[in-house]
């Protein structure tokens, strides 16, 4: 049940009622064809008012229980006021009532009365409901599109963050490889330096051995051969 729709029907009814309540007094001051036109106009407006009340009653069926009692009271008051206007019109214009819609009757649709203005009112109301439904569907579609766009944006942000983290990891790996290469170069230099010192030490050791052998030979020669 739409409280907004109920309020719209309420405004339509108040406009019709304000027009109807002036007609009994006008009927007292007119005669002949003018009075007949006024009676027909009253009959048409009353039919429209009945139709609006029927629409309000239809809206009321699905109303929340917290609002239903107040709305029911308002509807009963409107039907009572409409019935009073009908009685006043019968007094002001004798013969009125042969084509009027009974107040408080079976509440059947007013379409059977062949009232063109009532039909137009119902058509406008149906168009209004269709427009409202289309607007609601469009709003829901926009909300879904916005939600999908937000989700897509979030996914894109997550991917960018993940790529940034992977880039940082690659930079760190590259730096480690560079450091490892530098360490290997230093190690190779140290090994080459150690190899050169080892060769030098071997040469020195060989010279010392040769010198010791020469000295030993000279001692033996001097001791045993001279």
Tell me, yes or no, whether 108 and 8 share the same domain.
yes
Tell me, yes or no, whether 120 and 97 share the same domain.
no
Question: pLDDT tens for residues 63-116?
Answer: 677 777 777 888 888 888 888 888 888 877 665 554 444 444 433 344 344 344
- Residue 74 CB neighbours (<10 A): 15
Tell me, yes or no, whether 10 and 93 share the same domain.
yes
Calpha distance 42→16 (Å, rounded): 10
Calpha distance 165→167 (Å, rounded): 5
Residue 146 belongs to what domain range?
115-194
- Give pTM, 2 decimals: 0.38
- Residue 105 CB neighbours (<10 A): 8
Token pair 């029907």: residue: 9
Calpha distance 30→39 (Å, rounded): 11
Q: Does 174 map to a domain?
A: yes
Calpha distance 28→20 (Å, rounded): 14
Tokens of 138: 């469009």
Tell me, yes or no, whether 18 and 81 share the same domain.
yes
Tell me, yes or no, whether 87 and 29 share the same domain.
yes
Chain-centroid distance, C-alpha 151: 13
Chain-centroid distance, C-alpha 128: 23
Domain stops at, among 53, 80, 113: 113
Calpha distance 83→79 (Å, rounded): 6
Tell me, yes or no, whether 22 and 54 share the same domain.
yes
Q: Does 66 map to a domain?
A: yes
Q: Does 210 map to a domain?
A: no
Instruction: Identify the helix (H) or strand (E) that includes residue 91.
Output: helix 65-92
Calpha distance 196→225 (Å, rounded): 43
- Residue 44 CB neighbours (<10 A): 18
Are 48 and 109 contacting, i.e. CB atoms less than 8 angstroms apart?
Answer: no
Tell me, yes or no, whether 24 and 101 share the same domain.
yes
- Among 85, 73, 95, residue whose Cα is nearest residue 49: 85
For residue 81, the model assigns a pLDDT of: 85
Tell me, yes or no, whether 85 and 163 share the same domain.
no
SS3 content of the chain, % helix, strand, coil (to 5): 85, 0, 15
Tell me, yes or no, whether 82 and 183 share the same domain.
no
Q: How many domains does the structure of the chain reveal? A: 2
For residue 160, the model assigns a pLDDT of: 92
Token pair 């008051």: residue: 77
Tell me, yes or no, whether 107 and 121 share the same domain.
no
Q: What is the mean pLDDT of each run of 10 residues along the chain (226 residues)?
A: 70 86 79 81 86 82 72 84 83 58 39 46 71 82 88 89 89 88 87 89 91 88 78
């Amino acid at each position: 049940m739409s409280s907004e729709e109920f309020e719209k029907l309420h405004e339509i009814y108040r406009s019709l009622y304000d027009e109807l309540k002036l007609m009994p007094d006008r009927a007292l001051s007119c005669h002949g064809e003018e009075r007949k036109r006024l009676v027909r106009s009253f009959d048409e407006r009353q039919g429209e008012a009945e139709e609006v009340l029927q629409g309000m009653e239809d809206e009321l069926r699905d109303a929340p229980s917290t609002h239903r009692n107040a709305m029911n009271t308002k509807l009963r008051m409107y039907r009572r006021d409409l019935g009073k206007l009908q009685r006043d019109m019968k007094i002001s214009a004798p013969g009125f009532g042969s084509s009027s819609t009974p107040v408080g009757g079976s509440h059947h649709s007013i379409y059977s009365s062949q009232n063109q203005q009532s039909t137009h009112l119902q058509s406008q109301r149906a168009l209004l409901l269709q427009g409202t439904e289309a607007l609601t569907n469009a709003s829901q579609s926009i909300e879904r599109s916005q939600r999908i766009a937000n989700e897509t944006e979030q996914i894109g942000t997550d991917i960018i963050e993940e790529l940034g983290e992977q880039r940082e990891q690659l930079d760190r790996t590259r730096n480690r490889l560079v450091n490892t290469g530098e360490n290997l170069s230093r190690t190779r230099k140290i090994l080459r330096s150690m190899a050169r010192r080892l060769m030098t030490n071997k040469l020195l050791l060989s010279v010392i051995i040769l010198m010791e052998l020469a000295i030993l030979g000279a001692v033996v020669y001097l001791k045993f051969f001279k």
